[in-house]
Amino acid sequence: MAAQLTRRERQRQNTLAEIRAAARHLLVTQSPAAVTINAVAREVGMTGPAVYHYYAGLDDLHAAMTTAFFEELAGAMTAARDACPATQPGRRLLAIARAMRQWAITHRPEYCWLFTRPAPPADQRRPDSPEHRAALGFERVWLEEAATLWETDPFPVPDLDELDPSLRKQLRAYSATTGGRLPPEAAHVFLTSWIRLDGLLCMEVLNQLSFAFTDVTPLFEECLREVATKFGISYERPV
């Protein structure tokens, strides 16, 4: 399909990627604040205003970075998933979680970027922006596998009637967004597991655990073991 592009269009795509790479390089080697139009321009050997021919402004460049990071992260997760047989969604789920942390700690600035980017409240987002679509694609990897697990080998769920009414309502709403693949009570297990894993990861990459921990891996594996229990799958040590 690249061959279908004209020479000019290919050049343009190259430059777009080069600019993104320069921006990422600045993020990783310096800081989020160092990702400026001018600094990026210097990095690729242009003047500042030239960058505006490729990205509409700083916000647009930032959004492109976010999109690229989400896609790369989701790619790492699906790759790890596909290394396990599709007949074992439990193992796949663990593989996905581990790949996610692996990407997060080997690309800490990028993961922090994703986490701390100013996320507007749900009611004022552009659901069709590439950024949002990439974020959805990322979320869906874990969701899809949990749904498959639920369908092939249902895990124990809490009694809906014993949950807080407000929570029940929210779970029903979320269940609907999965097209009913996960009923509300299964969504509860799914979401709380997700929150525990991602909450831990969030604290780790944001350096909020260094007051007590130098290596969070065993903590993550412990968390994973508990999540495995919740999902009714057997925990296996990482290879």
Q: How far apart are CA 189 and CA 107, in angstroms?
A: 28
Q: How many CA atoms lie within 13 A of 80 on its CB side?
A: 24
Least Cβ distance, residue 54 to a copy of itself (angstroms): 23
The residues binding a copy of itself (CB under 8 A) are: 31, 112, 115-116, 118-122, 139, 163-164, 166-167, 170, 174, 177, 187, 191-192, 195-196, 198-200, 202-203, 206-215, 217-219, 221-222
Say which entry of DNA, a copy of itself, none residue 57 contacts (CB below 5 to 8 A, set by partner kind). DNA
Say which entry of a copy of itself, DNA, none residue 53 contacts (CB below 5 to 8 A, set by partner kind). DNA
Q: How far apart are CA 51 and CA 166, in angstroms?
A: 48
Q: How far apart are CA 65 and CA 117, in angstroms?
A: 11
Angle at which helices 184-205 and 130-152 cross, to 10°? 130
Say which entry of DNA, a copy of itself, none residue 229 contacts (CB below 5 to 8 A, set by partner kind). none
Do residues 205 and 104 touch, judged by C-beta distance below 8 A?
yes
Closest CA to 163 of 144, 195, 187, 143: 187
Q: Is 6 in the site for DNA (CB under 7 A)?
A: yes
Q: For residue 213, what is the DSSP state?
A: -
Size of the site for DNA (CB under 7 A): 22
Do residues 9 and 1 touch, judged by C-beta distance below 8 A?
no
The pattern of x and - marking residues 59 through 98 that bind DNA according to CB under 7 A reads: x---------------------------------------
Q: Of the two residues 14 and 116, which places its CB atom closer to DNA in the complex?
A: 14
Q: Of the two residues 27 and 37, which places its CB atom closer to DNA in the complex?
A: 37
Say which entry of DNA, a copy of itself, none residue 176 contacts (CB below 5 to 8 A, set by partner kind). none
